[in-house]
Amino acid sequence: MWWCIIFLRFDRLEQKAQELLPPKLQSRKFAPREPLVHAIDGSGGAWFGKERSNGRGAFLSESSETLIKGGDKMDLKKHEELLKKLQTEYPTAILDGATDNKEWSKLPKEQRILWILKEVNDYAGDLRSLLDPTELCGYSKWQATYGLIAKVSYGILTGKWVEDADRLVKDEKVLQKIAVINVNKLGGTNRTNQQNLAEAAEEFHDIILKQIELLDPDIIILGGVKNVLSKWLPDNDAKRKWIIADHPGQTKITHKEYYDKVVNYSEEV
């Protein structure tokens, strides 16, 4: 009995020490000590409870293809519960998903666009709040990534190319009609470390797949993350259109050329 008490106290001290670390150092640790073993929906393990070979709990007990290819399963309430569970296990996690749940739920079929990106840079909190037009436009460099996301998303939704990202975000509020999630749920810095990103994909791919199921997008744009997620993606998926693209912060081609490549994309994942 005494050794159980010592272990428990050591575990709590270790957790407390981790919480006292600066956020950037905290983000280097991806694996929680305690397994994620409780099902959000009270089903006794439909979402959680199946341990991986590394001993940690998994967010999924079903195969990735079953979850990704399921029927129309959009459930924003369960998506919020998933995020709460994530934040409980990782207090510094950056939440993401549909920018505006109300707008997302009103979108007709074939128009729900999900962007999967790498990580949020030097930010703590809820990404969905950051993408509010007033909040986002107060950041001087917002167009470096989200300018292109706004243009491409608006073009897919309307069939029209508009160069003025400022108008699309402020007046058309296009970012409130899409979903954005990141591979690294703990965030990063202004230059992505590929090894850290690969480790984050290993740790959080379960959550990402569950987010795809619950958000139920029609179009998924992999913005520079195909390589780190490839082993968990379906070989084919008749239900959704998967688009492999560079990260929207790229500078190799113009925004219009990027848009043309996305809307004309036909390659299988």
**pLDDT at residue 72 in the model:** 58
Q: Mapping DSSP to helix (H, G, I), strand (E, B) and coil, where does residue 188 land?
A: strand
65-72 contact pairs (CB < 8 A, 24+): 65/234, 65/235, 65/237, 67/209, 67/210, 67/212, 67/213, 68/209, 68/212, 68/213, 68/233, 68/234, 68/237, 68/239, 68/240, 69/234, 69/237, 69/238, 69/239, 70/213, 70/239, 72/216
Mean pLDDT by 10 residues, the chain (269 residues): 42 46 46 32 29 37 44 86 96 96 93 96 88 88 93 96 96 97 89 89 96 96 96 85 94 95 75
Q: Which two tokens stand for residue 244?
A: 């492999």
**pLDDT at residue 237 in the model:** 79
**pLDDT at residue 114 in the model:** 98
Listed by start position, the domains of the chain span 2-28+36-263
